[in-house]
Each structure stands twice: as structure tokens, then as C-alpha cells.
Amino acid sequence: MDFTTMDTATVTRSVTGSGERYLELFLREYTSVFKEKVNPSCPKCITEYLNRYKNHFKTMANTCNYRLHAKYENIPLEFGSPILVNNGNITDEYAQKLLAHNNGQRYFSQIPKTKASNNKHQKSNLKKQNANDISANETAE
Amino acid sequence: MPVDCTGTLTADILFDCSNAPVGGIEQNVILIAKDDIDVVNTTTDATNRVLVTNLQLKPGKTGHLLSGVKQSNGKAWELVKKENAPDKFKHTFSGVIFNPSAANKQQADALSKGAKYVVVVEQVWKGGDSKDAFEILGLTSGLELTTMTNSSKENDNMIMFELASSDGFEETTMPRTLLDVDYAATKTAFGNKFMQAAG
């Protein structure tokens, strides 16, 4: 049974052919994945559990090498943007935009090494170039 | 050279007409066990000791949401005068547990076991660019459960409680403002209960 394609109403109201409630099966599955207690009598919590469960599998399926810290999941892409970036929907393009935020690197628990080192190389090359420019100017003066 | 910690005013105290005072805090607050705070990576602004720039928890730890309604939860602080030492501040958080269910009573029971807590609240008044929205109570010394009451004849049978600085162990400053660069990032961290993934 694939709960990632179901909405809350389906999970809470449906029953299998053998009479088992989807909700019971889902909560059993949820607790086996997240190892935490659940509150079956809280409708808002069920929605949260289902969203978390779906995001968990989206995150696992996402091949983007950038990863956000848990506390920055669902950060707005830009000021006022309706796009909330999390580890399920993050792409390289989104990551670049988040990195452009003030001190944006703090959002990430994982940044691909190649790009980071490329940036470092670019920065060090830029520094060298600046230094060369300055020395060239000094000699010219 | 001797260091003078006495402190003096360094700037004017002004009224920002476009951000007039507004009372209250937003409904939801985050309670964090003080032991779960990563004090090494929690940072304070270099020039303003009441401004926290990153509130970080230890790996695998998370804060806990106390959901409220309207102004059911509240915060307060007051100066504690010290005769021959720098003055201190007593922080108080008053909260309400709406449903006296077994699950909620279990958490209320946990509060009463003596651990110290830090409370993060979002004020209704948020200041310019919402930079002053969040406050942290009890960051230095922590807050303890000081009262917890329930009466079937009062307050609709809800559980009322208060966390406060314990006498003699107050905070060195008023509640600190939390600003993780901007409002959006701070609000996101607050919404995620400052959760830190397991190392």
C-alpha cells in the first residue's frame, strides 16, 4: 500500500478488503520509519504525520547533492516567495538561490564538494588576479 | 588594564513611530530543555549581548511546540535588584495545556521533574523588518516549573502552568532577541522547532 500517493481523508476513512483501517496500517508504517509515538485521535497530527512521511520518501528519492539542515527545511526561496524549499524539492538551482542569501551557507548540512572547491578555486584565482592587478598598478605608478 | 563591567548608555533610546508598541505574543511557543542547547554553536552578536544570532540544539535534539489560542500563553520579565552585584532579571512564561489528556499530562508531568527549560516566543510586535519578533527566555540559567494548577471549576478544566527563573539564579539580561540574519530564516527555524538532525 503506497501512502505517499494518498491524502489525509483517504488514510483516515478507508478500510481494506479484510476490514483493516488504512489509518492503523499507516500509523504502524509511520512508527516503524520514525520510531516515535503517535496520537491517532488528533486529525491535525495525522496530516502532519502524512506530510512528514511523504517528504521522507521524496527526500530519499531526490538526487540533488545539496542538503538543508532540519531547522531550515521549508525556507522561502526568496523574500516573499511562495516556494518553500526542503530536502524533498531542493534542486541545484534552488540551492544556488539560497546560497545567495546573506550567509546562505548556514542553511546547508551538505554542499557538493566539487562546487565548493570550484568556488574556492574561483575565489583564490580572483584574489591572485586582484593582487596581480594591484602590483601592476603600483609598478605603473 | 582593569576591565570595567559597569556599563553606560552608548546611544539614544528612540521611539520608532512606524513601529508603535503592540502587546501579546503569537499563539505557539517552543519549549526547549536547556540541556539540549548547543552552547558552543549558539552565537550572540559581538556588539550586543541581548541579540542571539543563532540558536542551535545538540545533534538529534528538538524543541517542543506548545500550541496556544489567542493570548493563552504569555511572557513577562522584571528586574531583580542586587545590593552589591550587577542586577539580574527574572523571566516568567505562563502557559496553558488545553487538553488534560493522558498524553499531555505525561508531558506536564515531565515538566515537573526538575529540568530547566528555555522558551522561545514570537511577539506580536515585531519591529522594523520584523527583526525583533522572537525572544528567548531563560537562555543563561533556564526556567523551572514554578506553578501548575488545574481545577474542574475554573478555566474550563485546562492545565495552567508557569515556568520562571528560580530565586537567586536569575538571568543576567532581559530576554534575548533571536534574529538568525532575517525574519524568514528565524521563523523557519522556529517552525521546525530548532530541530537538529542526529550527527
Q: Which amino acid is at B14?
A: L
Torsion of the alpha carbons at A68, A69, A74 and A78, rounded to the nearest 10: -60
Whether B182 has its CB under 8 Å from any CB of chain A: the answer is yes
What's the confidence (pLDDT) of residue B63?
96
Whether B102 has its CB under 8 Å from any CB of chain A: the answer is no
ipTM for this prediction: 0.85
- Which residue in the set B182, B188, B193 is minimally distant from A72, CB to CB? B188
Q: Which residue of B has its CA nearest to A84?
A: B188
Q: Which residue of A has its CA nearest to B191?
A: A71
What's the confidence (pLDDT) of residue B82?
94
Q: Of B157, B149, B147, B120, give the one whose Cα is nearest residue B135.
A: B120
Cα B120 to Cα B40, B55, B104: the distances in Å are: 19, 10, 20
Q: Which residue of A has its CA nearest to B103?
A: A39
Whether B184 has its CB under 8 Å from any CB of chain A: the answer is yes
Please judge whether B195 and A71 are an interchain contact, meaning their C-beta atoms are less than 8 angstroms apart.
yes
Please judge whether A102 and B182 are an interchain contact, meaning their C-beta atoms are less than 8 angstroms apart.
yes
pLDDT tens for each residue of B142-170: 999 999 999 999 999 999 999 999 999 99
Distance of CA A83 to the CA centre of its chain: 12
Q: In what order do the strands lie in the sheet with B74-80?
A: B74-80, B88-97, B159-164, B144-150
CA distance A94 to A100: 10
**Which residues in B lie closer than 8 A to residue A70 (C-beta atoms)?**
192, 195-197
Cα B105 to Cα A45, B112, B159: the distances in Å are: 18, 11, 9
* Averages of pLDDT over each 10 residues, chain A, 141 residues: 90 91 93 87 88 86 89 93 92 95 94 65 55 53 46
**Which residues in A lie closer than 8 A to residue B185 (C-beta atoms)?**
72, 75, 101, 107
Cα B57 to Cα A22, B65, B102, B144, B193: the distances in Å are: 36, 15, 28, 19, 10
**Which residues in A lie closer than 8 A to residue B191 (C-beta atoms)?**
74
Determine the residue among A67, A71, A102 to mutate to test chain B binding: the one whose Cβ has the most chain B Cβ atoms within 10 Å.
Answer: A71
Let me know if B181 is exposed, middle or buried by CB neighbors in 10 A (0-12, 13-18, 19+). middle
What's the confidence (pLDDT) of residue A117?
54
* Averages of pLDDT over each 10 residues, chain B, 199 residues: 78 93 96 97 95 96 94 97 94 96 92 96 96 97 97 95 96 97 96 89
> Beta strand pairing status for B176-178 and B51-54?
parallel
